[in-house]
């Protein structure tokens, strides 16, 4: 999208100027998500420490642009027109993993990939985090939404997190440590807001033979390959309703394989929507709305989106 297509191209340029040489304008964003659909970010920036985060705050103050914290791009759907703001990524400075075998604890940076964490824990003889191998997100995103699977989640193993609160426009970023009890974690939710950047998390596991943990990881990876689709998708589309699964509700409504344009309800797992190469985010959202409508008509249950939608404005979803 050319700069003149943004509603305030001067604001975009001001933000980029403050951020400096590390800033990229009209940067790919949708293409970097696991769904691989959607448009660019007006500005993208990779932060590798407190000084970079301070510049982000200064860029916000100079431009009044919103900041979108982007992890590994799973569970995220970007509109085809893109995101008119600053897409903030955590860089290599936030990929450190520290393992304490004696206490069976691990401290991981906010941009650590969960599958990497699970495998390193297995090699160190730390169990309890095997479930993370099946979640293609980052530590930061997993804390924010209390990601989970295979009978566990972040809340079950989290001790505390280090947060940078971007706060109000013009305010310096504030570093805060928050224990689990302060995070308000529930099913696929926490009390963290858009301004909260998870820079690290401390997790607890238990001592276990490495071969036992590795075998469990192998079983999870095998199950995912057999029961969940690959390709272009954002993971589970809807949250599970109480005492049921969203996939089962969608199946019972006869929607497996339903297609709108370039998007299709997966034939392997009905709570996934797979996009064609070169597909559009608009087709995904339209299909989500149709699935939600038909499930409500047939069951009376209103499925709630799990995937985060950015840049769409009011989405055509039943609420």
Contacts of 210 (CB under 8 A, 6+ apart): 122, 123, 124, 125
Report yes or no: 292 and 271 within 8 Å, Cβ to Cβ. no
210-227 and 114-123 helices, crossing angle to 10°? 150
Verify whether residue 195 is a known catalytic residue.
Answer: no
> Length of the chain, please?
319
List strand residue ranges (DSSP E) for the chain, in order.
24-27, 41-47, 66-70, 76-78, 83-90, 97-100, 105-109, 126-127, 148-149, 152-153, 158-165, 174-179, 196-204, 206-207, 259-260, 263-265, 273-275, 308-310
Report yes or no: 66 and 86 within 8 Å, Cβ to Cβ. yes
Verify whether residue 267 is a known catalytic residue.
Answer: no
Please provide residue 271's backbone torsions phi and psi, each rounded to the nearest 5 degrees. Answer: -95, 20
Q: Which of 291, 245, 313, 69 is nearest to 283 (CA)?
A: 291
> Catalytic residue among 188, 195, 294, 308, which?
188
> Catalytic residue among 236, 266, 275, 280, which?
236
3-state secondary structure of 312: coil
Verify whether residue 63 is a known catalytic residue.
Answer: no
9-19 and 50-63 helices, crossing angle to 10°? 160
Please provide residue 42's backbone torsions phi and psi, each rounded to the nearest 5 degrees. Answer: -60, -40
- The catalytic residue positions are 188, 236, 306
């Amino acid at each position: 999208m050319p700069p003149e297509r943004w509603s305030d191209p001067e604001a975009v340029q001001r933000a980029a100027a403050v951020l400096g040489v590390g800033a990229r304008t009209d940067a790919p964003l949708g293409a970097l998500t696991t769904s691989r659909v959607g448009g660019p970010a007006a500005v993208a920036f990779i932060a590798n420490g407190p000084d970079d985060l301070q510049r982000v705050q200064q860029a916000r103050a100079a431009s009044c642009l919103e900041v979108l914290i982007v992890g590994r791009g799973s569970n995220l759907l970007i509109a085809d027109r893109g995101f008119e703001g600053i897409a903030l990524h955590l860089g290599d400075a936030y990929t450190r993993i520290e393992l304490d075998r004696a206490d069976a604890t691990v401290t991981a940076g906010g941009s650590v990939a969960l599958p990497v964490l699970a495998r390193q824990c297995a090699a160190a003889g730390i169990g309890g985090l095997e479930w993370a191998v099946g979640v293609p997100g980052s530590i930061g995103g997993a804390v924010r939404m209390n990601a989970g699977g295979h009978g566990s989640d972040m809340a079950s193993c989290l001790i505390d997190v280090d947060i940078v609160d971007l706060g109000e426009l013009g305010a310096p970023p504030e570093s805060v440590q928050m224990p689990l009890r302060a995070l308000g974690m529930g099913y696929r939710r926490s009390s963290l807001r858009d301004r909260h950047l998870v820079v690290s998390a401390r997790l607890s596991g238990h001592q276990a033979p490495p071969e036992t943990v590795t075998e469990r990881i192998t079983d999870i990876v095998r199950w995912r390959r057999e029961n969940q689709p690959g390709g272009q998708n954002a993971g589970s589309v809807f949250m599970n309703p109480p005492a049921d699964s969203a996939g089962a509700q969608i199946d019972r409504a006869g929607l497996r394989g339903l297609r709108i344009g370039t998007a299709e309800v997966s034939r392997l797992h009905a709570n996934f929507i797979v996009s064609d190469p070169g597909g559009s985010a608009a087709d995904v959202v339209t299909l989500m709305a149709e699935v939600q409508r038909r499930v409500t008509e047939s069951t009376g249950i209103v499925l709630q989106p799990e995937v985060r939608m950015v840049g769409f404005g009011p989405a055509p979803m039943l609420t």
